[in-house]
Structure 1
């Protein structure tokens, strides 16, 4: 029988999606499952994006340019100017989600066995993208006790080797909700310039910054990272358009853009209909985001207060995005998460969470942690907290 590749065998399962069969079985048994495991907002997609697709009258659904349509990239550049990022449409490649943008970035700047430094815990699929690209993740550990703040720059410098090509951050962070300060971005800028590295920033949660804090981008002029910075973005969370699968790679480094374009050409073009919807979404008024942020702050506060009321639970308070990491009084969150779906319910209702071990690359770290996405309405969150509290009593007994 032909053999599967070593790369395929090494490819990690998603901690977010690997429990889906157990959730489906719970559904088949008549249970209601509250999905805290995945960042699929229940916020409505802006109506102008939906209407743009409904209004189409096409005879042929054709390819667009490999880098995305001119009109859409021009409007993205205008959007960025509004958030203090001065780029032109030529600095932008539209991708099939932020995931493809990350794969293009890895493929453009790293070779097999090169290294990328990532503060952990990090978005679980960074492990998968690294494996697919033959790249090694070198983690620098942030801790729940420090609210997952950026580790000292000295910790980064200790890890830099001749194989190091980039530092990757997610800001605000998935899974932690940590929001990097201007001072922290400045420190990272200095280290990548000192060692002539790239810095990749996944900024898909840019709009979701709370408590009066402001998001700071690596592509703001003051950091002088024109040759070093690669920005990853997506419409998925900003406009609650996860199914559109439209993102972009942005860089002022012309070599990065021309190289990434070759990867884009190899897959022909990003989805045409989704670009049309995404272009329309750019006209979404600020009031939409104001309302969404107010809603997420209320959900966050409800969730954190509820988790802190449970004996033995430790939680970091997120400053952005819509996730938090909670440490539970258990030994193995993979087992616990599966048990919740297979063997536990309160009035025929249970919860689905994401085991946090998959958000680390360091072995045996985060095994007693879970990631919770507070993308459900407040009533569902209240029920979910109650279910978790009762589940821990039974599980530990």
Structure 2
């Protein structure tokens, strides 16, 4: 094992398991032999007559189905969490200590800022830009950011902010940096099913084969508005204590297992319907962009969100105006200034983020009509000034 591969955060090493779980193996020993144990120290409630614990047989069955669905080998194990927050919390809590750093390309998903700050971690931004399709800079520019407090490299594919997908050359660059500096490599693949031309898509796990420090994150039901159950795929070489923290603090419910089971039996139909829906929305965005010569965007791989550059020098002021002074027939729109997805040093260059995954097509189309009208009026006001 490479130096540093066994690193576990100091706070995770101090974690004490629930009392019941200290004896869990003994409980399971007798349960497998059909011996009943009457638990006189039962601190978990019963809800509407149904125990909150999942059926171990059902759990193991769903885990095996997930392994087949994800195509993972015996070297990796699956941890199930009730939601995205609990998965990220366990990952960061287990691998990182206070003031440790997450190296991540900007633009970043906004929730990453929230999770990092809540655990006393810092984001180390690698700035990218629309002109280069948000690709990473040269390796030396990335390495110059890394320092002894850097513990993990993170990105999502496609990016939650802007649908960014990296080419194979960039993935090799990321992998080299992580190996050279013993960084964990965490990749959120929640939206990967939305990628167009998936034959052109290279997955990191196809390059970083048997990499002990590769951690894959996936919320397979979230994009379909079914549930937020989230998966961590980790190498078996990582400490067993992660399993214990997961089991103690974040058990999933039988209902979530049922949702997963349903999805795994019907995912081809569910995904096909979702892609058809997203392609329709993508055409609406393309129509909006074609109708205006004063805006630009990188939509070659847009799969749910896209950055649009508008001729406005201060997007914060524009959004404030949208929400306080403008309306068309009692309607206005909200867009997210790109500055919220970058470091504090990032200069506003007129970019806004549109995330249309959960908007229906009619509302999206109307929203762009209102945005176009608002831009015309705002630019007209600025000319008058």
TM-score range, shorter chain: 0.7 to 0.9
**In the alignment, does 2:376 pair up with 1:386?**
no
Mapping of 1:110-259 within 5 angstroms?
Answer: 110-220=96-206, 222-241=207-226, 244-256=227-239, 258-259=240-241
CA contact (8 A) 1:317 1:324 kept: yes
Q: Distance in 2 between matches of 1:366 and 1:263?
A: 41
Deviation at 1:134, TM superposition (A): 1.4
Deviation at 1:61, TM superposition (A): 4.0
Over residues 192-251 of structure 1, what are the superposed CA-to-partner deviations in whole Å (9 max), with x where a residue is unaligned? 11222111101101101114544433333x42352110111102444332xx22101111
Q: Distance in 2 between matches of 1:213 and 1:325?
A: 24
Structure with the larger RCO, 1 or 2 (CA within 8 Å, 6+ apart): 1
CA contact (8 A) 2:313 2:348 kept: no
Query: Residue 215 of structure 2: SS of its match in structure 1?
Result: strand
TM-score (norm 2): 0.78
Mapping of 1:28-177 within 5 angstroms?
Answer: 59-64=49-54, 69-81=59-71, 85-86=72-73, 91-177=77-163
Call closer, same or farther: CA 1:348–1:211 in 2, change over 3 Å: farther
Among 266, 270, 278, the alignment partner of 1:284 is 266
Q: Structure 2 regions of 5+ residues with no counterpart?
A: 1-47
Over residues 120-161 of structure 1, what are the superposed CA-to-partner deviations in whole Å (9 max), with x where a residue is unaligned? 001011111111221111111110111212332222111111
Call closer, same or farther: CA 1:274–1:333 in 2, change over 3 Å: farther
Query: Residue 298 of structure 1: SS of its match in structure 2?
Result: helix
Q: Distance in 2 between matches of 1:263 and 1:361?
A: 32
Aligned match of 1:17? none
Mapping of 1:266-345 within 5 angstroms?
Answer: 266-345=248-327
CA contact (8 A) 2:154 2:185 kept: yes
Q: How many matched pairs? A: 332
Deviation at 1:394, TM superposition (A): 1.9
Q: Distance in 2 between matches of 1:379 and 1:205?
A: 23
Call closer, same or farther: CA 1:107–1:310 in 2, change over 3 Å: same
Aligned match of 1:46? none
Q: Distance in 2 between matches of 1:333 and 1:236?
A: 33
Deviation at 1:103, TM superposition (A): 1.8
TM-score (norm 1): 0.76
Largest Rg, 1 or 2: 2
Spell out structure 1 runs of 4+ moving beyond 4 A.
none
Q: Structure 1 regions of 5+ residues with no counterpart?
A: 1-57
CA contact (8 A) 1:218 1:231 kept: no
